[in-house]
Structure formats: C-alpha cells, structure tokens
Amino acid sequence: MSAPQSRAHWGSKFGFVLAAAGSAIGLGNIWRFPYVTNENGGGIFVLIYLAAIVLLGLPVMLAELTIGRHTEKNPVGAFGHIAPKWKWVGYLGVITGVAILSYYGVVAGWTLGYIVKSASGDLDPKAFGAFISNPAQQIGYLLVFILMTMSVVAFGVQKGIERMAQVLMPLLLLLMVALIIRGLTLPTAAAGLKFYLYPDFDHLSAKTFLFAIGQAFFSLSLGMGAMITYGSYIKKDDNLATSAIAVVGFDTLIAIMAGFLIFPVIGHSLTKGGPTLVFVTMIEQFNAMAGGQWVSCLFFLLLGIAALTSTVSLLEVATAYMIDEHNVSRGKAVLIIGAVTTALGVPAALSLGAVPALSSIAGGKGFLDIMDFLFGNVSLTFGALMTCVFLVYRWGIYNAATEVKEGCPTFGKYVLFWRIFLGYVAPAAIATMLVYILVTGQGLG
Ligand code: TRP
C-alpha cells in the first residue's frame, strides 16, 4: 500500500476552468439544447434557460465546487467528512456517474462511427436504424470510447484531464466557429435562425420552465458530485466564485452557439429531437451540401470531443472514490470502474434494436431509456436537491462562505443571495422538477 500522498491539484485556475467546462459542455449542449429550444418556443425558452442558469445553476455550481475544495475529497469522502450521516448522497453520486457514463458512452461511440462513415463518404440518412441495431458496431464503438476515456483518466488530474482539456477545448471552440460560419453561408440559414430564436409565446407553459431548468442542471453536470470531485483539486488561493462564473458562462456560450450551428444547416423547425436530429436530419443536410462529407466529418469530431471531455469527468468521480476511500492506485481504479461501466454499457448498446428483449422492458422503454430516466433524471435531480439542503441546512451557509472567502475575500457581500437561492429558490424549483419527473415518468434533463 502506498503512503498517503497530498491531494492532486490543477496546474492553474485556467486549466481547471477548461476541464470543468469540458465536463459541462457535452452532448447535452450540442444536440439536446437546440431541439429542446425549438420544441419549447424558441427565443422565449432561451431567456428562461438563461435565467435558470444564473439563478439556479450558478449557486449550485458554487455549492459543489465549495464542498469539493473544502474537503479535498470525492463525493463519498466529501459528504462523509462534513457529516457522516450524509455519506449516502455521495454513494448515490458515484453510482449515478458510472450509470450515466455507461449509456452516454453508447451515444458518444456513435460520433466515432459517424466520423468513420463521413470520411469514407457513406452518408446515408436511412442507415441510422441499421447502425444502432448492429451489435458488433454498437459494442465496438462503445468499447473504443470507454477505452479512450480510461486512458485520459489513467494519466491523472494534471497530465491526463487538464492536458486533454488544454488541447481539446480550444479545438472545440475553433471547430464550432468554423462550422457556424459554414452554416451561415447556406441558403437555409435565415429560415433556420428564425425557428431557433423566434419567441413563440403559444408554447409557453409551466412545462417550459421545467424543461429549461432540467436542461440547465444536466448541461452544467450538476447533481452527482462531478463538480465536487473537480472542485477537490482546486488550490486554496484560487477564486471559487469567479471560477464558477467562468465555467457556467463557457457552457452557456457553447449551448447558444450550438443553436447557431444546427439551425442554419437544418433550415426548418424540428418536431423530433434526440438522436434523429444529429444522426438523421443533419446527415440529410450534409448530403445535399457542397463538401458536405468533410463538414460532416468535422461536425462529428466536434461532437466526439465534447462527449469525451464529459465522459472523462463521469469516470473521474468513481475513480477518485476508489483512490480516496479504498486506497487503490489510479491505474487499478480506472481498470475496475472501466470494467463495471462496460458491463452496464453493453446492454444499453444492445437495447436499440440488436436485442429485442432489451428494447422494450417497461412502459415501452428500453434499457438505455430506463437508465437515462433513473439516473440521468431521477437521481441527478434528487442529488441536486440534496446538495442544496446539505449545504444550507447541515453544513451551514457561513461555514461554506468561509471556504469561498479563501481566494475571494469580497464574497461576504453575496452570502445572503447565495443563502436565499440555495436555501429556498433552487430547492423549490428542483423539488417541482422531481415531482414532475416521478409523476409523468418523463425525463427533463
Ligand atoms: N454536462 C454534460 C452534457 O451536457 C453531461 C455530463 C457530464 C453530466 N458529467 C455530468 C451530467 C455529470 C450530469 C452530471 O452533455
């Protein structure tokens, strides 16, 4: 057994911001945000989303980062350090991370498949159904994606996660800008932008608010301790408040930009989102455009990069748990968690047509959908609620504020706002979401 080592740290504040933004920026921003916006009233949804990000997302982001840096631990260790009876919230987070990774990895693997398809000039929008029901391809791409994720995490916080983010996040931004410019030069651009941003008040209902809040929390990677874990590597003299603002701002910017990328290309309103938006509708458009094969290649590269920096954060949570709580080496922890994730991912990968018994398990939902409902929705929402309640009513807002003030001496002025939003507004909003999810059996995030 190795001697206890001091906590790993990010090399710089900017390195942390890139890594955490990498966690937040993912499939949720690039394919989910645009179509949820379109389905929920366009510009008016974007406004509600922005309000949810600032009023709810930012306080909870700061809460997770603060719990992490104060304890310098994974979620189990972090909750346990402050209040042993709350350890189970940490366990729920670790389990949720592995579960989300297992099916998120399936969709992430598709981006690799579509990079290969694009490069080889095989852009048939009708091929999607055959692709997702092909067992060898589904398992193969999942394995490759999980192995890529494992190799980054195995190199550790600075040499693996931070260095990856330093290379991939600027590349992501560059690809995004290049693809937006290409899209805006298409004849479909004006009509598409109208569908994206035109505020349609007829669509405005209580549900709009819940979808905006759900999208905000999922997109910011909140509710399972990913940001607790990343926060645990922040140095004591770094400013938590401005770090939280930077991560939230970067994530939001990319979500909004994703709309400016997708809609000009599509040029019409969307009635159906989900996988069909990116893997069918976009492919139809790429097919029809000059040089579309290469635009498609870069588009799926962008999507793959966004997904990888997110899967890395999902894997790091359980890895940090194994290292901190069970004293295993990083390499061994990555192997164990990677194997568990793959074991859970295989049924998800086979549930989209390959194995009929897995495609319809309960209420017409297949294995992947059920995992997304239980972990991507119920558990994350519950975890976010518990995080607010824990910080305000168990740890105490002033104890938490003391931690924030290290590196941000002026935070005192904002403690009252933090208390109100974390203690009342966010719990009320999140509890409403939880009730909606449980009553309707429908996901929000
Ligand atoms: N935020 C990522 C996305 O938008 C997904 C993600 C990564 C996530 N880590 C998370 C979501 C932790 C919730 C919790 O695609």
DSSP run (H or E) holding 265: helix 240-266
The reported pTM is 0.96
Residue nearest ligand 1's atom 9 by CA: 221
Backbone phi and psi for residue 365, each to the nearest 5 degrees, phi listed first = -90, 140
- Per the CB < 8 A criterion, the answer to whether 239 and 17 are in contact is no
Predicted local confidence at residue 2, as pLDDT: 47
CA distances 355 to 135, 348, 374, Å, are: 8, 10, 21
- Report how far ligand 1's centroid is from the alpha carbon of 314 (Å): 8
* Position in ligand 1 atom list of the atom nearest CA 227: 12
What radius of gyration, in Å, describes the C-alpha atoms of the chain? Answer: 21
Residue-range domains of the chain with CATH? 13-440 (1.10.4160)
Going from the Cα of 274 to the center of ligand 1, the distance in angstroms, rounded, reads 16
Q: Rounded to whole angstroms, how far apart are CA atoms 192 and 198?
A: 10
Angle at 301 (CA atoms; ends 300, 303), nearest 5 degrees: 60
Q: State in Å: Cα 218 to ligand 1 middle.
A: 6
Residue among 186, 104, 179 at smallest CA distance from 145: 104
**H helix runs in 8-155, sequence order:** 13-24, 27, 33-39, 43-52, 58-71, 75-82, 87-119, 128-132, 135-154
Give nearest CA residue, ligand 1 atom 14: 221
Write phi, then psi, for 425 (nearest 5 degrees). -65, -55
Distance, CA of 302 to CA of 305 (rounded, Å): 5
Instruction: Quote the CA–CA distance of 220 and 57 in Å, as a whole number.
Output: 7
CA of residue 309 to ligand 1 center, whole Å: 10
Distance from the alpha carbon of residue 23 to the mean position of ligand 1, in angstroms: 6
Angle at 24 between CA 391 and CA 170, to 5 degrees: 135
Q: How many angstroms separate the alpha carbon of residue 285 from the centre of ligand 1? A: 28
Q: What is the pLDDT of residue 1?
A: 42
Rounded (10°) CA dihedral 115, 119, 125, 129: -50
Hey, whose CA ends up nearest to atom 10 of ligand 1?
221
By C-alpha distance, which of 46, 345, 310, 380 is closest to 164?
A: 310
Measured by CA distance, the residue closest to atom 8 of ligand 1 is: 221
* Rounded CA separation 297/288 (Å): 15
- Paired residues of 365 in beta bridges: 362
CA 227–ligand 1 middle distance (angstroms): 10
Whether 270 contacts 39, CB under 8 Å: yes
- Looking at ligand 1, which atom is closest to the CA of residue 224? 14
Ligand 1, closest atom to CA 24?
1
Closest protein CA for atom 11 of ligand 1? 221
Which atom of ligand 1 is closest in space to residue 223's alpha carbon?
14
The protein residue with its alpha carbon nearest to ligand 1, atom 12, reads: 221
* pLDDT given for residue 364 in this prediction: 85
Cα separation, 100 vs 345, in Å, equals 9
Which numbered atom of ligand 1 lies nearest the CA of 26? 15
Task: Kindly give the distance from the C-alpha atom of residue 191 to the centroid of ligand 1, in angstroms, as a whole number.
Answer: 31
Residue-level pLDDT at 200:
85
Q: What are phi and psi of 362, to 5 degrees?
A: -150, 135
Residue stretches of the chain with pLDDT short of 50: 1-3
Nearest to residue 376, comparing CAs of 445, 273, 275?
Answer: 445
Report the alpha-carbon distance of residue 368 to residue 352 in Å, rounded. 8
Cα(225) to ligand 1 centroid in Å equals 11
Choice from 29, 49, 221 to test ligand 1 binding pocket (greatest atom count within 8 A of CB): 221
In this predicted structure, what is the pLDDT of residue 41? 85
> Ligand 1: distance of its center to the CA of 310 in Å?
6
Give the per-residue pLDDT at 201: 87
The rounded Å distance from CA 221 to ligand 1 centre is 4
Closest approach atom of ligand 1 to CA 226: 12
The residues, any chain, with a CB within 8 Å of residue 3's CB and separated by 6 or more, are none
Spell out which residues line ligand 1, taking CB within 6 angstroms: 23-24, 26-29, 218-219, 221, 223-224, 226, 310, 313-314, 380
Residue 195 belongs to what H/E stretch?
helix 189-197
- From 31, 106, 313, 381, the mutation candidate for ligand 1 (largest count of ligand atoms within 8 A of CB) is 313
What φ, ψ does residue 200 adopt, rounded to 5°? Answer: -110, 100
Give the model confidence (pLDDT) of 328-370 as tens digits.
999 999 999 999 999 999 999 999 999 999 999 988 899 999 9
